[in-house]
Copies of this chain bind each other. A is one copy, B any other.
């Protein structure tokens, strides 16, 4: 055994310490501290004695030992492509909040949209015995499914079965955003998306196409651009140039990162066009509130997403019950 960091001058009290000092067995101490004293017929005096001593020693349970013994760590994982993306960090905050309410802690990690990194993270987390994971996956997660880890997907999903999945009405939202642009007079709308192999992104593209068709506009494949996640800066830049060469009069960005980057580039390279072109974006950003140009955006219900994810996960962990999928509505913010 290694020395732990307390042993040199201060030993963290364990239930053994309490047991010795109160003259009862470890078993009794464990029962009392877990509030099972009455159920287990421990007399009131003994219970009081144990509790007093625990308090006096400022006893804190070793959660690791507890977890090892119970096969439950009361810790969940939150795995996303990039925790510094405001969309994800807002949800992280809320997940943390709802998890804490139930005594769970949260480990986070970013996958960078890389399947190998995702796999590594999931392995590290399951080895740490997390009880479940909330994830915006980058790939199919087959091997973790096999390991039978309770899991809730959000934002995207690769399973054929729409199990344990929290998402938004992607195609409808894209349809509405496109409709707004058309309503503002746009006739030629460029779409800047990414990772079009992601189901949620595909739905967004479908919504966009639907809106065009409904309004008698052409679907022009050269106006639909798929950016490489690993080359966002460069790819968005060439997308902007290309689309403006095609003389688009509106942009639909499929997420906040693309929108922020794209708008910045239009500002930089084509300031004369900035007032003539309309912008719409999936995901809201706080700054859209005051920044120019005005951007029409789709606000995802972060709080509901987080709450549903946590609830679904706990349903799996605690009740061994699977959930179906939930599709939440976005709020279109017109500016």
Contact = CB atoms under 8 A, between A and B. Distances in A.
A289 interface: yes
Interface stretch (A35-43, A70-78, A205-213, A217-225): A70-78
B290 A267 contact: yes
Contact of A2 (B70, B84, B90): B70
Contact of A61 (B71, B96, B127, B290): B127
Contacts of A106: 107-109
Interface of A: 1-6, 10, 60-65, 67-73, 75, 82-84, 86, 89-90, 92-93, 96-97, 100, 105-110, 123-129, 148, 150, 260, 263-264, 267-268, 285-287, 289-292
Nearest to A86: B86
Contacts of A126: 60
A76 to B, nearest CB: 10
Contacts of A3: 71
The number of times this chain is found in the oligomer is 2
B86 A129 contact: no
B62 A127 contact: yes
A73 B69 CA distance: 16
Given A10-B148, A285-B287, A287-B260, A63 B127 contact: yes
A128 B291 contact: no
Contacts of A264: 289-290
14 contacts: A2-B71, A5-B71, A6-B148, A63-B128, A64-B128, A75-B128, A84-B89, A105-B109, A105-B125, A105-B128, A106-B107, A107-B108, A260-B290, A287-B287
